[in-house]
Chains A and B, each alone.
Chain A
Amino acid sequence: MTTITAAVTIRGVEKVFNDGSPDRVEALGAIDLTIPPGEFVTLLGPSGCGKSTLLRIIGDLVQPSAGTVAVNGKEAPQARRDRDYGIVFQQATLYEWRSVLKNVELPLEIMGRSREDRERRARAMLDLVQLTEFERYFPFQLSGGMQQRVAIARALSFEPSILLMDEPFGALDEMTRERMQAELLRIWSQTGTTVIFVTHSIPEAVFLSSRVVVMSPRPGRIAGIVEIDLPQPRNDDTREHPRFYAKLTEVRETLRSVEPA
Chain B
Amino acid sequence: MTTATGIRRAPPVGTVLRRYLPAVLIFIAGIALWEGIVIVFHIRTFLLPRPSRIASVFVDQFEVVVSAGWLTMRKAMVGFALGAAGGIGVALLTSRWPIVRDGVMPFAIAVNSTPIIALAPIMNNWFPITSVWPGATVVALIVFFPVMINMVRGLSEVSAGSLELLDSYGATPREVLVKVRIPHALPFVFSAFKVGTTLSVIAAVVSEYFGGSRATLGVYISQQAALFHFAETWAAIMVASFSGIVMYLAIVLVERSVIPWHASIRNVAGT
- Using a CB–CB distance below 8 Å, which chain A residues touch chain B? 59-61, 80-81, 83, 85-87, 89, 91, 93, 95-97, 99, 106-107, 109-111, 136-138, 140-141, 158
Q: A61-B164, A87-B165, A110-B169 are in contact. Are A140 and B268 (CB under 8 A)?
A: yes
B166 engages A80 (CB within 8 Å): no
Q: A80-B167, A80-B170, A110-B171 are in contact. Are A96 and B265 (CB under 8 A)?
A: yes
A26 to chain B, nearest CB (A): 23
The closest CB in chain A to the CB of B183 belongs to A97
- Determine the distance from Cα of A95 to Cα of B175 in the docked complex, in whole angstroms: 14
* Chain B residues in 8 Å Cβ range of A60: 168
Q: Which of B1-9, B12-20, B53-61 contacts A (4 or more CB under 8 A)?
A: B1-9
A95 engages B162 (CB within 8 Å): yes
> Which of B5, B170, B265 meets A111, CB within 8 Å?
B170
The closest CB in chain A to the CB of B166 belongs to A110
A82 to chain B, nearest CB (A): 8
Q: Which of B90-98, B106-114, B144-152, B256-264 contacts A (4 or more CB under 8 A)?
A: B256-264
- Determine the distance from Cα of A212 to Cα of B258 in the docked complex, in whole angstroms: 48
Q: A136-B3, A136-B5 are in contact. Are A97 and B165 (CB under 8 A)?
A: no
Name the 5 nearest CB pairs between A and B, nearest first.
Answer: A93-B161, A107-B169, A97-B183, A110-B169, A110-B171
A81 engages B167 (CB within 8 Å): no
A136 engages B180 (CB within 8 Å): no
Q: A138-B5, A138-B264 are in contact. Are A95 and B183 (CB under 8 A)?
A: yes
* Chain B residues in 8 Å Cβ range of A91: 159, 161
* Chain A residues in 8 Å Cβ range of B6: 141
> Which of A93, A136, A137, A141 meets B165, CB within 8 Å?
A93
Q: Is B179 an interface residue (CB 8 A)?
A: yes
Q: A138-B261, A138-B264 are in contact. Are A99 and B169 (CB under 8 A)?
A: no
- Determine the distance from Cα of A86 to Cα of B167 in the docked complex, in whole angstroms: 11
- Determine the distance from Cα of A110 to Cα of B186 in the docked complex, in whole angstroms: 21
* Chain B residues in 8 Å Cβ range of A95: 162, 179-180, 183
B7 engages A83 (CB within 8 Å): no
* Chain A residues in 8 Å Cβ range of B261: 96-97, 138, 140
- Using a CB–CB distance below 8 Å, which chain B residues touch chain A? 3-7, 159, 161-162, 164-171, 175, 179-180, 183-184, 186, 259, 261-262, 264-265, 268
Q: A61-B168, A93-B161, A137-B5 are in contact. Are A110 and B265 (CB under 8 A)?
A: no
* Chain B residues in 8 Å Cβ range of A59: 168
Q: A89-B161, A95-B183 are in contact. Are A140 and B264 (CB under 8 A)?
A: yes
> Which of A85, A96, A137 meets B168, CB within 8 Å?
A85
- Determine the distance from Cα of A93 to Cα of B184 in the docked complex, in whole angstroms: 13
Sample (29) of A-B pairs whose CB atoms are under 8 Å apart? A59-B168, A60-B168, A61-B167, A80-B167, A80-B168, A83-B169, A83-B170, A86-B168, A87-B165, A87-B168, A89-B165, A91-B161, A95-B162, A95-B180, A96-B265, A97-B183, A97-B259, A97-B261, A106-B169, A109-B179, A110-B166, A110-B169, A110-B175, A111-B170, A138-B261, A138-B264, A140-B265, A141-B5, A158-B169
* Chain A residues in 8 Å Cβ range of B166: 110
* Chain B residues in 8 Å Cβ range of A61: 164, 167-168
* Chain B residues in 8 Å Cβ range of A137: 4-5
- Determine the distance from Cα of A107 to Cα of B261 in the docked complex, in whole angstroms: 21
* Chain A residues in 8 Å Cβ range of B179: 95, 106, 109-110
> Which of B4, B159, B169, B259 meets A136, CB within 8 Å?
B4
* Chain A residues in 8 Å Cβ range of B7: 138
The closest CB in chain A to the CB of B161 belongs to A93
Apart from A85-B168, A97-B183, A158-B169, 19 more pairs, CB < 8 Å = A83-B169, A87-B165, A87-B168, A89-B165, A91-B159, A91-B161, A93-B159, A95-B183, A96-B262, A97-B184, A97-B261, A107-B169, A109-B179, A110-B166, A110-B171, A111-B170, A136-B3, A138-B7, A141-B6
A253 to chain B, nearest CB (A): 34
The closest CB in chain A to the CB of B259 belongs to A97
* Chain A residues in 8 Å Cβ range of B5: 99, 136-138, 141
Interface centre among B6, B161, B262, B264 (most CB of A within 10 A): B161
The closest CB in chain B to the CB of A86 belongs to B168
B118 to chain A, nearest CB (A): 39
B184 to chain A, nearest CB (A): 8
A81 engages B170 (CB within 8 Å): yes
The closest CB in chain B to the CB of A91 belongs to B161
A62 to chain B, nearest CB (A): 10
The closest CB in chain A to the CB of B268 belongs to A140
B115 to chain A, nearest CB (A): 36
* Chain B residues in 8 Å Cβ range of A97: 183-184, 186, 259, 261-262
